[in-house]
Structure 1
Amino acid sequence: MEISRNIDYTLLKATSTERDIIDFCHEAITNNFYAVCLNSCYVALAKQLLKNTDIKIATVVGFPLGAMSTEAKIFEAKKAIDDGADEIETVINLGLLKSHNYVSVLRDLNDLKLAIGDTPLKVIIEISELSKNEIVKACEICTDANVDYVKTSSGFSKRGATLTAIKIIKKTLKNKAKIQASGSINNSEIALKYLETGVHRISYEAKMKKTKSARKFV
């Protein structure tokens, strides 16, 4: 298995500079990653840097809290797509989910999905903040909203993916959406374990260093 083609190379730090993004995209090319994931202000730059490759560009909206208005998320998503984004990620509204206001959570995701059309929508459910029953409910809402991926974590919470959570997510989704594992996956051996459980994509966080050559994923 060519693991690199299941990897989303991710750089979402608020302090990331234009130079970091240039190096980051160069590393993505070197490693033949499937996609990069970055903040929306850098989508246009990434589009230019990756124009002669088949590497996809994913970006985040309503991030990292997911508590913004639906209208704000839609506006941000449409602007990102205009700038060249191939995929949109958002965080599920955890407050509304925990309030048992499932109708509003569903409406938020459904309206966003309808607004972006055929562009894939990934929904981060932030498993570290949810009980087992809440993970199940979040996944059920995601399938009802016809999202394309359920992603475990944003990288901005307590912890990332766990194999236990992946099993719960997979059982609930019943192949109605794909799964992306994110957080605490920093080498190919760990990535392979998740892929063997049925995960479709892996988020691998960039650790930008002041080096002259691009790092290889190992």
Structure 2
Amino acid sequence: MSGISGFRVETLPSYIDHTLLKADATSEAILKLCDEARSYNFYSVCVNSGWVPTCIRALDGSAVRVSAVVGFPLGATLSEAKAFEAAKAAECGATDIDMVLQIGALLAGDESLVREDIRAVVEAVKGKAIVKVILETGFLNEEQKRTACRLAEEAGAHFVKTSTGFGPGGATVDDVKLMRAAVSPDVQVKASGGVRDLASALAMIEAGASRLGTSSGVAIVSGAGGTASY
């Protein structure tokens, strides 16, 4: 159906981090998110760290994981604060940490600060959770995107990720291709920001994304013929 080599559309739910990061998210909305993730067998729910315990309880007995964002959405908090937030989220049961890198430091060319900021989070959750580094690509030129990918890999991150969804722009096919080429096969790419339908999801996977961050997971898998029997 997709024309992507080796891709089977029935595996699409396993690519999706079903996401709700709005400031006005209520417990009812978070529980709905978890119910949808359980019904469609999404890879994870992605929430602000304060919601991790709620999601862990709601998803008990399912294979759905919990991803927590850290230093979100600006990335400008102290590295120690990011590391603490990540460690507490992992302690509560999060298996994935999506951290925002120090965007201002990257723009200023302070590679050491960016690298050590990421490394602090990686070390804080080592053996408990994987770390995805959000580049916020809308602020960056191509050289800066490549630099960010290199620094994330040098710091031990497991994924590089396009966007928060709160900054300028979002995931693009060109950015996913650039990021895939900028890291080794050991590091994966997550496309996030504006992935709202089946066509865009398949385009990101074809470009090299192995995870999709989206609040439109149900619409995407429904467009692929999905039902709650997935």
User: TM bucket by the smaller chain?
Assistant: over 0.9
Shift of 1:172: 0.9
How far apart are the structure 2 equivalents of 1:102 and 1:48? Answer: 39
How far apart are the structure 1 equivalents of 2:131 and 2:199? Answer: 27
Q: Where in structure 2 are the equivalents of 1:142-153 lying within 5 Å?
A: 142-153=152-163
- The question of whether the paired residues in 2 share the 8 Å contact of 1:11 and 1:206 is answered with no
- Given candidates 115, 125, 130, the residue that maps to 1:116 is 125
In the other structure, the counterpart of 2:205 is 195
Is it true that 1:100 corresponds to 2:100 in the alignment?
Answer: no
Equivalent position SS for 1:51: coil
How far apart are the structure 1 equivalents of 2:101 and 2:212? Answer: 19
Equivalent position SS for 1:67: coil
- The question of whether the paired residues in 1 share the 8 Å contact of 2:192 and 2:213 is answered with yes
Equivalent position SS for 1:157: coil
The amino acid of 1:31's aligned partner reads Y
CA-to-aligned-CA distance 1:39-97 (integer Å, 9 cap, x gap): 11111010001011000100011110111001101111111112111111111101001
In the other structure, the counterpart of 1:155 is 165
Q: Where in structure 2 are the equivalents of 1:22-33 lying within 5 Å?
A: 22-33=31-42
How far apart are the structure 1 equivalents of 2:40 and 2:169? Answer: 26
Task: Give runs of ≥4 in structure 1 deviating > 6 Å.
Answer: none
Aligned-residue Cα RMSD (Å) equals 1.4
Between stretches 129-138 and 27-36, larger displacement belongs to 27-36
- Given candidates 146, 150, 153, the residue that maps to 1:136 is 146
Percent sequence identity over matched residues?
Answer: 34
The amino acid of 1:125's aligned partner reads L
The amino acid of 2:30's aligned partner reads I
The alignment of Structure 1 onto Structure 2 pairs a total of residues equal to 212
How far apart are the structure 2 equivalents of 1:70 and 1:217? Answer: 40
- Given candidates 179, 194, 217, the residue that maps to 2:189 is 179
In the other structure, the counterpart of 1:49 is 58
How far apart are the structure 2 equivalents of 1:156 and 1:40? Answer: 17
- Given candidates 105, 116, 126, the residue that maps to 2:136 is 126
TM-score normalised by length of structure 1: 0.93
